[in-house]
Each structure stands twice: as C-alpha cells, then as structure tokens.
Amino acid sequence: MKKVGIIGGAGFIGSHITRVFLNHGFEAKVSVTDISRQDKYKHLTELENSGNLYITELNIENKNQLQQFVQDCDLVIHGGTPFQLEVSDPKSELFDPTIRGTENFLEAISNTPSVEKVVIIASVASLNTNFPLPPDNTTPLDVMDELSPKFISKESHPYAQAKFIANQTVEKYIEEHPGIHFEISSVSPVMVMGRSLSSREDSTSSGLQFLIKNGIAPNDFIRFLYDVDALFAIVDVRDVAEAVYKAATRNGIHGKNYLLSSESWRISDLRLMLNGEDPNNKPLTVYRNNLAKSDLSVDFRPVRETLYSFSNG
C-alpha cells in the first residue's frame, strides 16, 4: 500500500483530496496546523477507509517538521498555503507561509528519496492576480489558458500575489534541477465551489458561496464585484480532487501546470443558481480546461450541479 502525504488535507479542497486517495486504497498522512483542534479534522476520521488515515501536526515554515512529514511518503500533495481574503499582516499571514513554505517544501522533497510524485495546488492567480477580474489591458471575455501571458500587479490582493510568486518559485526550481528523482506537477483551480465535507466555519470558499447566495457584502471588494456583476470562472471541488489524484498517479507530466475550470458566470447568475433558480444568461468559457481534459481525463461538472450540491449539502 502506497502512502500519500497531503499537506492541508483537512481543509475545504484537501478533505476531498484525502477522500479520493483513501477511496483508491492509499494510506493518507494528513497535516494539520494544530492537532489539539479535533473539530477541524474529525470529519476525516468518518470517511470510508479512515483506518488508513494518519493525522499529524505540521508548521509549513518549520523545516524539521516538514522533512519528518514527507520522509516516508511515496506521493506528496502540497495544498497547505492559506486562502484568506481578510488579512491584517500580509507578510506573516500570506507571503511567508505561501512563498517560504513552498521553498521549504521543495528542499524537503529533494532530500527524500522515497518520493516519486509531487503535486502542487497552485491557483488561477499563478496566471492572473486580478482574478476574477481580467488582466489589465484585456476584457472580461478574453480567453486564457496555460500558454497565455502571465499577469501580476502590486494592486492585486496579497493572496493572489503570494500564489503567483510561489508558482514562479516552483517553475524556477524545476528549471534549475533537471535531474531530480521525482516528477512535479501543478494544478491551478479557478474559484473552487461546492459542498464541504466538514461543518467548519473557517472555509473561505464556503463563506464566499454563502455571501453570494444571500447578497451579503462584508467589504468594499465584494460590493464592487456585485456592482460590476463580475464574471466568475468556477470549478467543482470534487473535480479539483480528481485532477490532483490523476496528476499524482500519472507519469510523463513533469513540469506541467494544469488550469482547472468549468464554466464562467456572472455573479448575479451564481446567486440565482445558489438559490435554486434559473440563471438569466448562458455560461461562457473564459479559462480553457483543454489541457486538463486531455492529459488528466477530467470531466468537469457544470456549475449548476456544483452550486446545487452546496445549497443542498
């Protein structure tokens, strides 16, 4: 039985990833930031095949803990960077754990001969830090894919900037280490939505779905998105988990970064669908998913199914 280490495996996306690997017969070692907070990972112990689940505490900025975490793993998934929109200190809350954490992770993996495959959970921000808005000097309907020019702005949210720089760190590492003993691939989801496997109340993704469903604007940025009826590219959390599993278990995709996206909808239509109503418009394709479909055989769910699962979860 092979062992997968899943950094961040108790979070919104990570929990679905953990379930997929357990369902496929893997041992799963999952990291949490505070092992005394059982309320944050208890839902994993209720999954099928949870007898093959191991929970361990990890601070991604602690090199010794990180090295110990990966030392007996065959595959490693790195999804442990924070996703938060409300921040008081971007450096300590976002930039350090995201960028330095990625640097530490790559160093630990390099020192671990047992590791065969690595998957980094990046973000659409690795292509466009303005998301859900388009890059500067483009329109909301301009289509992007993995080959599009990458865009970063200092005016973008610190989370997006941190993810962009972290992805550049991974790309630079791959370029500078042509003879590494493992394959490394990345996935870059757009806005991830769907039903959470837990009742945790600290999920940014679940929180955003709740805000849109109820038309709540807790800050100026969310109000702005409502005012311009922003166009959101959405992907189902279950499809992200499936893509991560396939990227981790397929050979010959070293160095690739897969854009994970289903359909794009106006925020007003998202609100209608989250409330079980028909949208006023048709879906658009703004972020292409062709590479993920061809290489990973991911069949992306329509957004209506994703939002229905959230509303009825």
User: What does the pLDDT look like over 30-63, one tens digit per residue?
Assistant: 999 999 999 999 999 999 999 999 999 999 889 9
The tokens of 116 are what?
């065969």
Rounded to whole angstroms, the Cα distance separating 120 from 165 reads 13
Q: What is the pLDDT of residue 82?
A: 65
The tokens of 130 are what?
């303005």
The fourth-level CATH superfamily of domain 3-194+233-262+285-300 is NAD(P)-binding Rossmann-like Domain (3.40.50.720)
pTM of the model: 0.95
The tokens of 123 are what?
């973000």
Q: How confident is the model at residue 88 (pLDDT cuts 50, 70, 90)?
A: confident
Per-position DSSP letters for 58-127, written without gaps between them:
--TT-HHHHHHHHTT-SEEEE--S---S--S-HIIIIIIIIIIHHHHHHHHHHT-TT--EEEEE--GGGT
The tokens of 230 are what?
């922003």
Beta strands in the chain (DSSP E): 3-7, 27-32, 53-57, 75-78, 117-121, 183-189, 191-193, 231-236, 257-260, 263-266
Q: Which among 131, 158, 157, 156 has a CA at the least distance from the CA of 286?
A: 131
For strand 75-78 and strand 3-7, is the pairing parallel, antiparallel, or unpaired? parallel
Q: Quick check: bond before 132 cis, omega within 30?
A: yes
263 φ, ψ (degrees, to nearest 5): -125, 160
Q: How confident is the model at residue 84 (pLDDT cuts 50, 70, 90)?
A: low
Q: What is the pLDDT of residue 85?
A: 65
Cβ–Cβ under 8 Å, residues 262 and 309: no
For strand 231-236 and strand 263-266, is the pairing parallel, antiparallel, or unpaired? antiparallel
Rounded to whole angstroms, the Cα distance separating 255 from 236 reads 24
For strand 231-236 and strand 257-260, is the pairing parallel, antiparallel, or unpaired? unpaired
